[in-house]
Amino acid sequence: MDMPEEVSSAGAKIKKTIVEVYPNVYQILGQNRSAHAYLIKGQHKNVLIDSCLPDGVESVRACLAEVGLTQDDLHMILLTHEHIDHAGGVPELGPKTIVAAHRLAANKLTLQDEFVLMNKAFGSASDLFHIDMFLSEGASINLGNYELQVIHTPGHCSGAVCFYEPVHRLLFSGDVVMANGIVGGVLQSGNISDYIYSLRRLATLRLDHLFPGHGKVSNQAQSDVERGIERLETLLDESKTLFHVVQNSEHGFDYIMRSLRDLNR
Ligand SMILES: [Fe+2]
């Protein structure tokens, strides 16, 4: 379903776009640089995967209302990782809800590591991130109609996880991999080699449907993952070429080493 804008009590326009992308799985479309969130209506519990940007909370509430829910009907918010376009709604949506993230994502959120979060850069008014539960590799969330298995997938950042549903072959991938094999890039605490390892692990699963944090959903998840691996292997090769060029340049690694040392001042 795709609804028009409505006007909030404060007079601001609230966009609300919620689409049922799979039975009882709804995509809440990200607005203004926000990632998408996904609502799963379980048999007994409702789960929200990611929470949009801080200024997207009104839109999330409006979307929940379209399917007969309020934020108090959310039993869990599961975060794919710590970046603010995914986690930014937690302070407002999460007070009565169990919020769960990988330990490495939770650490950055609760310590308010601004180099990683870019919280203020996205206009957040809140610093209050509280994570109730850590998501470890192999953990499973049983919703009755769906079972979400946690797969730790570092690379984009250290605290990234994907949620794999083995019966329906669904993957909620956050920024790890998107349609057509687009990858979310290597940001602070990430690295290319872990990223390749994570995608190679995903490639061993039986995947059909990809529900990413950005862009379109995909029914070709397996090839999306494989194309993502190819992109990252290319990036790794290019980085080797870059370092080879730097090694043979006039200044060598001075600039790189100086910038690393500067972080410690
Ligand atoms: Fe991200």
The conformation of residue 218, written as its DSSP 8-state character, comes to B
CATH code for the domain in which residue 105 is found: 3.60.15.10
Name which residue leads in pLDDT, 164 or 95: 164
Residue 1 lies in a domain: no
Whether 255 shows a pLDDT value over 80: the answer reads no
Q: How confident is the model at residue 32 (pLDDT cuts 50, 70, 90)?
A: confident
87 contacts 113 by C-beta, under 8 angstroms = no
Q: Residues with Cβ < 8 Å from 92, sequence gap 6 or more?
A: 54, 57, 126
Whether 197 shows a pLDDT value over 50: the answer reads yes
Residue 221 lies in a domain: yes
Q: Residues with Cβ < 8 Å from 16, sequence gap 6 or more?
A: 3, 5, 6, 59, 62, 63, 65, 66
- CB count, 10 Å around CB of 171? 26
Give 80 Cα–ligand 1 centroid separation in angstroms: 9
Beta bridge partners of 28: 18, 37
- Average pLDDT for the chain: 90
Mean pLDDT of 136-163: 97
pTM of the full structure = 0.90
Distance CA 17, CA 26 (A): 10
Give 192 Cα–ligand 1 centroid separation in angstroms: 14
Domain of residue 96: give its range.
Answer: 6-262
Residue 93 lies in a domain: yes
Distance CA 131, CA 238 (A): 38
The number of domains in the chain is: 1
Distance CA 87, CA 2 (A): 24
Whether 126 shows a pLDDT value over 90: the answer reads no
Q: How high is the pLDDT of residue 94?
A: 85
Distance CA 264, CA 259 (A): 9
Q: How high is the pLDDT of residue 14?
A: 60
Q: How high is the pLDDT of residue 10?
A: 47
Buried b (16+ CB within 10 A) or exposed e, 177-196: bbbebbbbebbebbebebbb
Q: How confident is the model at residue 122 (pLDDT cuts 50, 70, 90)?
A: confident
Counting residues of the chain whose pLDDT is more than 70, the rounded percentage is: 90
Whether 9 shows a pLDDT value over 70: the answer reads no
Residue 105 lies in a domain: yes
Give 113 Cα–ligand 1 centroid separation in angstroms: 14
Give 37 Cα–ligand 1 centroid separation in angstroms: 13
* Closest to 131 measured CA to CA, from 92, 200, 77, 86: 77
Q: How high is the pLDDT of residue 175?
A: 97
Distance CA 55, CA 30 (A): 11
- CB count, 10 Å around CB of 27? 21
Whether 164 shows a pLDDT value over 60: the answer reads yes
Give 35 Cα–ligand 1 centroid separation in angstroms: 9
Q: Residues with Cβ < 8 Å from 181, sequence gap 6 or more?
A: 223, 224, 225, 226, 227, 228, 229, 230, 231
Whether 159 shows a pLDDT value over 80: the answer reads yes
Q: How confident is the model at residue 263 (pLDDT cuts 50, 70, 90)?
A: low
Residue 243 lies in a domain: yes
11 contacts 19 by C-beta, under 8 angstroms = no
Give 247 Cα–ligand 1 centroid separation in angstroms: 31
Residue 83 lies in a domain: yes
* Closest to 78 measured CA to CA, from 108, 99, 94: 99
3-state secondary structure of 175: coil
Give 249 Cα–ligand 1 centroid separation in angstroms: 33
Mean pLDDT of 28-52: 94
Whether 1 shows a pLDDT value over 80: the answer reads no
